[in-house]
A = this chain, B = another copy of it.
Amino acid sequence: MKKSIKAEIISIGTELLRGEITDTNAGYLASQLPLAGIELQRMTTADDDIKRLAQVLRSALRGSSIVITTGGLGPTQDDLTREAIAQVLDEQLFIDPVLETHLREIFTRMGREMPPANLQQAMRIPSAQSLPNPRGTAPGWWVEKNDKVIVVMPGPPREMLPMWQNEALPRIKARFPGEIIQARTIKTFSIQEAKVAELIHPFFGAINPTLGIYAKPDGIQVRLIAHGDDSAQLLDNAGNKIKQILAPYVWGTDTDTLGGIIGKTLSERGMSLATMEDYTGGLLGNMISDEDLSSRFYRGGLITGSDLVKIGWGVPAGEIEKKDSMSCGVAEAMAAAVKEKFSADFGLSITGISHKNSPSGQFDKVCIGVADPGGVKSWEQQFMWNRNDSFERAAVAALFRLRERLIELNLLYYVK
């Protein structure tokens, strides 16, 4: 194994340290680096204080070959990233005439005069190349010096993301041509993290591929990372063994989503889906709508705020009166009603009463219903109430049940 390239990420901004905005950049960049063969050593969030910022930069440059910063490139006097880097590298900031012209053009196009403060966004140090920012006024920097690389990017994710993908990552790959690194993610549902760990225990501690287990709202994921010229083969070997061990819990790999798998299955067959939900209040419909293919298979959904509304949409009042019994009849009636009302091939429903006005820790009882060409079925599930993820877990559980029905109807097959 080649010696790995080490990196650090520094997120800059007092607003991050006051918890006023959430840093999504660092987590995104962290997930990108393993696939470029780069080992992230540390992430730091620093405030807009030149002394502390310089200290964090110095410490990062001591331990890593690549230092990636986001934030602190705005036009105000609080934006000190450029200055801190100049100080640490002992270089002088100057106004780059090309950058200045470009910046003035942006303001001209917006029909506004450029405030003098913005001029600092046209500054760079001699060892910095600028990275274009088509979505904002602050260009990034690519700095190479003393065998180290500093990548400097703006804080707003909509500016940072394209700069990373189009400018920074290609330069990093060219500057640090590593060996081939590939990853595979195996996605499961209805199985506990500890049970997954127990079943695939023999794969732990391997060096190539390495293995990680992660709990996500859509189930437990196993991620394999392999390196070297035979990484594809190594991933296939280990991945197939793990899929065999974990079947029938495995529902997909890599970028698969439950909604995507269902959508592909239905749209290929010209079949359609409709939803009715109360517990999840639109989240189930929203998850399905988010799928790229949704317009081809998702007829639509009903969010029912009250029992009267359900009755109005075809759920028999008798089923609703019985709902305190152990049956999930309401969920079945909802699925059947929405299938009919939307003239869909499949109706999917979620019903339940949430403890959303109570403290966390109580159990919500939820019923999921599926109506399909083969009949109507329902399942009861319990979710420990927790505003962060109970609704999402219930919506995922409903999609998982629908996938099971698609398998039973021979429209979809287990992941091989």
Question: Residues of A with Cβ closer than 8 Å to B?
Answer: 15-24, 26-34, 40-47, 52, 56, 59, 134-135, 157-158, 161-162, 212, 214-216, 223, 275, 280-286, 288-290, 292, 294-295, 298-306, 309, 312, 342, 356-357, 360-361, 386, 388
Contact = CB atoms under 8 A, between A and B. Distances in A.
B294 A15 contact: no
Contact of A302 (B18, B298, B301): B301
A290 B282 CA distance: 10
Contacts of A301: 282, 302-303, 305
A160 to B, nearest CB: 12
Contacts of A43: 16-17, 44-45
| Count of this chain's copies in the oligomeric assembly | 2
A212 B289 contact: no
B28 A19 contact: yes
A93 to B, nearest CB: 24
Interface centre among A17, A26, A59, A288 (most CB of B within 10 A): A17
A15 B286 contact: no
Nearest to A283: B286
B285 A303 contact: yes
Interface centre among A32, A46, A162, A290 (most CB of B within 10 A): A290
Given A21-B214, A289-B282, A357-B292, A56 B42 contact: yes
Nearest to A19: B31
Contacts of A158: 360, 386, 388
B300 A304 contact: yes
B305 A282 contact: no
Contacts of A292: 356-357
A19 B44 contact: no
Contact of A300 (B15, B134, B302): B302
Contact of A305 (B19, B24, B295, B360): B295
Contacts of A19: 27-34, 40
12 contacts: A15-B214, A17-B40, A19-B40, A21-B216, A22-B24, A41-B47, A281-B285, A281-B286, A281-B290, A282-B301, A292-B356, A312-B342
Nearest to A115: B194
A217 to B, nearest CB: 11
Given A19-B30, A158-B360, A285-B303, 13 more contacts: A16-B30, A17-B42, A18-B30, A19-B28, A26-B45, A59-B59, A281-B286, A281-B288, A281-B289, A282-B284, A294-B305, A300-B303, A301-B305
Contacts of A34: 18-19
Nearest to A26: B45
Contacts of A59: 59
A95 B402 CA distance: 48
A314 to B, nearest CB: 13
A56 B45 CA distance: 13
A302 to B, nearest CB: 6
A26 to B, nearest CB: 7
B52 A41 contact: yes
Contacts of A215: 21
Contacts of A28: 19
A397 B23 CA distance: 24
Interface centre among A18, A33, A388 (most CB of B within 10 A): A18
